[in-house]
Chains A and B, each alone.
Chain A
Amino acid sequence: MTLDIFKEKGTPLDKQLFTWRDLVKAPTSKLDDDAFTRVRIILMNGLESDAVRFSHATARMMNGDMRLPLAKVRRVEHHQQTMVNWLLPADLSPLETTIGFEQVAIEVTASVALREPDDYMAQVYRFGLLEDFDHLYRFSALMDRVGGGDANNIIQNYTDIMPGRPTSEEHRAPEDDLREHYVSAQADPLTKIHAITITASENQTHDYYMTIGPMFADPIARQLYAEIASIEEQHVTQYGSLVDPNESPLEKWLLHEAMEVYNYYGCMMYETNPRVKEIWERFCNYELGHLHMVMELFQQMERRDPAEILPQTLPEPIDYQSHREFVRETLNNEVDLRASGTQFTHKDDEADRSPLSIAYREQMNSEGSPSETIAAGYTWTPGTELVQKKSAFAKGASA
C-alpha cells in the first residue's frame, strides 16, 4: 500500500463535522449489495466501537492532560461508528446480521492469518478461525430450522457452511485461552495492526450477541446465543492477550489510530458500492487526522518519535474475497487442535494437557449442548433443508 501516513495529514479534527441527517444515510441493500460490502460495514463498526471502548478505558486510567484529547477524538469516532453501522438496512434481521458477523470472522481472519508475518500469531488466527467457521454452520442451522431461512442469501456463496471445530468443544478454561503476546520493540507493525483489528472485531461480535440474544423467543436460539457469545468472550480474551501489555497508553492509542487508517484504506480499495466508498475515503482522512494529532501528543508527552512505532507506508490491506481453499486446508489440517496454556496440542492429548478445560467443558455441557442440538444431522442445502423434505412433520429433516 502506498499511503504515506507521515506525509498524508488527513482532515483536521476541527473539520470533522456531522449532522444527524449526514449520520443517517440511505442504508445499503441486503439484496443487491455485495456480501463483502456488508462484511466491511460490520468490521468497521466493530473497529469504531473498539476505538470508543479503548478511549473510555484509557481515560479512566489517565491523568488530566489526556482526558480532553481522548474525549474530542472519541466523540468523532462515536459518530463515525454511527454512520457506518446505520448503513445496515432495517430488513436485515438480527439473525441475518449474525450470519454477516460470522462471515466477517471467517473471511477477515483468514486474510489476516495468511498475511501475518509471525508464525505463532498466524497459528492463533487459524485456531480461532476454525471456531468462528463452526459458528456460521450452527447459526445457519438456526436460521433454517427456527426461522425457515437460507443463510446463503446473506453470505452469497463466498463462504462454506459446514462444521468446523465443534462449538461444543470450544469451551475452555481461562488458563487455556491466554496466548503469548507480541513484543512491541521487535514485532512487525502488521502484527500489531492484526492483533488490534481482530480483537476489536471479536469484541463487537460478543457485544452484539449479548445484546440480541434475549430478543429471540425460541429457547434453543436463546441458548445458542448464550453458548456462542461465551466463545466470543473467549476469543476476545485470546486475541486481546496477543497485544503487548507493556506498551504505554499513548503508544496503544497511536497504534489504534494507525489500525483504523489501515482498515479504512483497505475498505476504500475494495469497495464496490460508490456511496459506501465515499464514506471509507472520508473516514480514512478523518483517521489520518486523528493519527497526526496522536503523533503530536506522543512526541510532546513521551518525547518519542512515532516512527519508532509506525511504518512509513501501510502494509497490504485485508483481502476482501472468498478464502474457501485456505479455510478448507486449515480445517483439514488443524480442526483437531486444542489449546493447552498458550500453546496448541492435538485433541487426543487434551485430557492430559488441558484438564481444566475438559472439566469446564463437561460442566457447561452437562445439561445439553445447544450448538449440537440445533445442528443435529444438519447439512446446509440451497433453499433450506425443507427442499429435501418429503412430508411435513415427519420425524427428521430428510424424512
Chain B
Amino acid sequence: MKSAAQQAMNGNRTGIQTAPELAEELIEGAKGAPPSSEGGIEDIAEYRGEYITEGYPIGSMPMLPVSEEAEAEEEEVGMAVLLDKLSERLAFERMGTRLYEALLNKVEMLGESEPGPTLEDIEHIGSEELEHFLLLNRTIEDLGGDPTVQSPCADVAGVASMGIMQVLTDPRTSLPQCLQAILTAELTDNAGWELLIKLADNLGQEEMKAEFEEALAHEEEHLQNVRAWLSECVLEAAEV
C-alpha cells in the first residue's frame, strides 16, 4: 500500500511525453534556431587543453618520512606511491564505515525485509570496514607516515565517491537504491585492495601483503553479498 507521501505524487514529469504538445513546440523551436557560432565539442577540448598543459596538480604528498631502511632513491619513490594509495584506501574504508552506518539506520527504520540484508549482516560488514580503516592507520604509522594526511589519491577518491554518501543519507532513497550505490563502493574497494596487494608485493612488503589479502577476502564477501541482495531485490520488485 502506498504511503500518504507516495500518493501525493503525480508521477514523473521529466520526459518529453509528459506534455507532448509543449514538447513538439520546444523541439520545433530548437531545430529552427541556428547556433550562434559554428564548431562543435572539439572547441571545448582546446579550453581543457590549455589548462591541462599548465600542469598544476591536485596537490602533493607531505615530505617523506626519513627511513633508515630506504637506502635507495627508488625505494623512496615506491614508498611515496604506497603511502598515497594507503591513504586513499584509508579514506575509503573510513567512508565505508559511515556508509554502512547510514544503511543500518535506513534498514532499522524500514525494517528488515526478505530479500535484503539483516541488521546483523550490515553491522558485520560495517565492523569489517572499520577494522580495515584501523589496519590502514597502523600500517601507515608503521611505515613512518601520518595517517591523518589527506593524500592526493585520497582526495580524488573522495571526489569520485561523493554521490554514494548522498544516496545513502537521503531519507527518500529505497533499500535497492542504496544497495546500488554501495555496489559502486564495493567494486571500487575490491579493485583497490587488489592493487594495494600487488603494490605491497612488488615493494617486498610481505607482512603487509598478507594482512591485505585477508582484508580483500572480507571485501570479496561484501561484494558478493551486496550484489546478491541487490539482484534479489530488483528481481523481486519486477516479480520475476
Contact = CB atoms under 8 A, between A and B. Distances in A.
A70 to B, nearest CB: 36
A371 to B, nearest CB: 9
A158 interface: yes
Nearest to A145: B41
Interface in A162-214: 162-163, 166, 168
B16 interface: yes
A159 to B, nearest CB: 8
A376 B37 CA distance: 5
Nearest to B52: A219
B23 A90 contact: no
Contacts of B238: none
B33 interface: yes
A153 B170 contact: no
Interface stretch (B43-51, B137-145, B181-189, B223-231): B43-51
Nearest to B38: A377
A30 B12 CA distance: 9
Contact of B170 (A91, A162, A370): A91
Nearest to A165: B36
Interface in B1-60: 5, 8-16, 18-19, 22-23, 25-27, 29-44, 46-48, 50-51
A396 B29 contact: no
B171 interface: yes
A373 B45 CA distance: 10
Contact of B40 (A90, A274, A372, A395): A395
Contacts of B27: 381-382
Interface residues of B, number: 42
Contact of B172 (A26, A158, A378): A26
A324 B32 CA distance: 14
A275 interface: yes
A29 interface: yes
B40 A377 contact: yes
A31 B12 contact: yes
Contacts of A163: 33-36
B22 A160 contact: no
A32 interface: yes
A379 B10 CA distance: 31
Contacts of B113: none
B166 interface: yes
Contacts of A157: 16, 18-19, 22-23, 25-26
Nearest to B159: A217
Contact of A376 (B32, B34, B38): B38
B37 A377 contact: yes
Interface in B172-200: 172
Central interface residue in A146, A157, A381, A396, by most chain B CB within 10 Å: A157
A161 interface: yes
Nearest to B39: A376
A220 B170 contact: no
Nearest to B42: A395
A186 to B, nearest CB: 39
A152 B16 contact: yes
23 contacts: A26-B5, A30-B14, A32-B9, A32-B11, A91-B170, A145-B44, A158-B19, A160-B29, A161-B26, A162-B33, A219-B48, A220-B47, A220-B48, A328-B29, A373-B37, A373-B47, A375-B37, A376-B40, A379-B35, A381-B30, A382-B16, A396-B40, A398-B40
